């Protein structure tokens, strides 16, 4: 039986631009920190896996000491507090319906669950944030049937393959029977390194990234009323939408 694993941010919903970025900036403002990431700056930050790690790239020991948080212990506590507040703000947006699911997400997950596929979500975001996005995307009943792997549960975040290796091990899945849906270069690298067939659905920040190793690069999974735009990368998926039979075919092709 095939299995499907989704990244969360940029895959289930286009969360980075409309969810995470404003939540980060609101958090910085609430804590009185002179930081406000622009869209361009945040695009660069997305090359770093994990929200705390992105904040840490600007919250250097020198920056924290200059703003009343000297020493590594105080710095770590500040980053933890910031991340907790940022996650709460993000979840508020998700539950308020401000982060609609991307085309095809509800349809493909519903169909996969109906056919008995194992469905999982693997993300470096906080688990509560991932569950909020997933529940809004597919409904609480369907979300409860999906396995969620999120947060600080592996030693190395994407582009390391650790999160996907954990999913495979924990759910006893054969990598040769799995397909991953990712949206970023670091996510694609992580999935490919884990030996998984990978479909990329590009998001607001990732359209121009390098997706070497991906089986297909698509604008999104598509729906009957919103087909996939025809592009050279989309190949025979252009002008229609992804179905489970297509994913089975991609998995089979990777075995050859």
The top-level CATH class assigned to 16-95 is: mainly alpha
- CA-nearest of 95, 8, 96, 93 to 50 is 8
Q: Mean pLDDT over residues 74-102, rounded?
A: 93
- The predicted-structure confidence for 51-79, as pLDDT tens digits, reads as follows 999 999 999 999 999 999 999 999 999 99
**CATH architecture, domain defined by 3-15+100-255:** 3-Layer(aba) Sandwich (3.40)
pLDDT averaged over every residue in the chain: 95
| Domain spans in the chain, listed from the N-terminal domain onward | 3-15+100-255, 16-95
Whole-number pLDDT of residue 255: 74
Distance (Å) of CA 2 to CA 5, 57, 103, 201:
10, 39, 21, 19
- Against a cut of 0.85, is the pTM above it? yes
User: pLDDT (tens digit, 9 = 90+) per residue, 116-168?
Assistant: 999 999 998 889 999 999 999 999 999 999 999 998 899 999 999 999 999 99
pLDDT for position 172: 98
Residues marked active site are found at 7, 9
């Amino acid at each position: 039986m095939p299995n499907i694993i989704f990244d969360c941010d940029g895959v289930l919903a286009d969360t980075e631009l409309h969810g995470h970025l404003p939540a980060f900036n609101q958090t910085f403002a609430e804590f009185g920190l002179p930081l406000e990431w622009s869209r361009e700056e945040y695009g660069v930050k997305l090359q770093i896996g994990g929200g705390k790690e992105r904040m840490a790239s600007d919250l250097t020991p020198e920056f924290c000491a200059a703003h009343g948080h000297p020493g590594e212990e105080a710095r770590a506590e500040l980053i933890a507090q910031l991340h907790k507040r940022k996650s709460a703000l993000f979840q508020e947006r998700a539950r308020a319906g401000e982060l609609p699911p991307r085309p095809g997400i509800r349809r493909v997950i519903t169909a996969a669950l109906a056919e008995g596929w194992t469905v999982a979500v693997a993300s470096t975001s906080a688990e509560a944030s991932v569950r909020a996005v997933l529940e809004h995307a597919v409904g609480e009943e369907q979300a409860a049937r999906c396995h969620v792997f999120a947060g600080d549960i592996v030693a190395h975040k994407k582009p390391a393959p650790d999160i996907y290796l954990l999913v495979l091990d924990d759910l006893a899945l054969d990598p040769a029977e799995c397909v991953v849906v990712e949206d970023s270069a670091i996510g694609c690298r992580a999935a490919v390194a884990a030996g998984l067939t990978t479909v990329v659905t590009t998001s607001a920040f990732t359209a121009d990234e390098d997706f070497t190793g991906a089986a297909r690069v698509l604008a999104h999974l598509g729906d009957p009323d919103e087909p996939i735009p025809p592009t050279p990368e989309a190949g025979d998926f252009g002008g229609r939408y992804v179905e489970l039979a297509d994913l089975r075919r991609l998995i089979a092709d990777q075995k050859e």
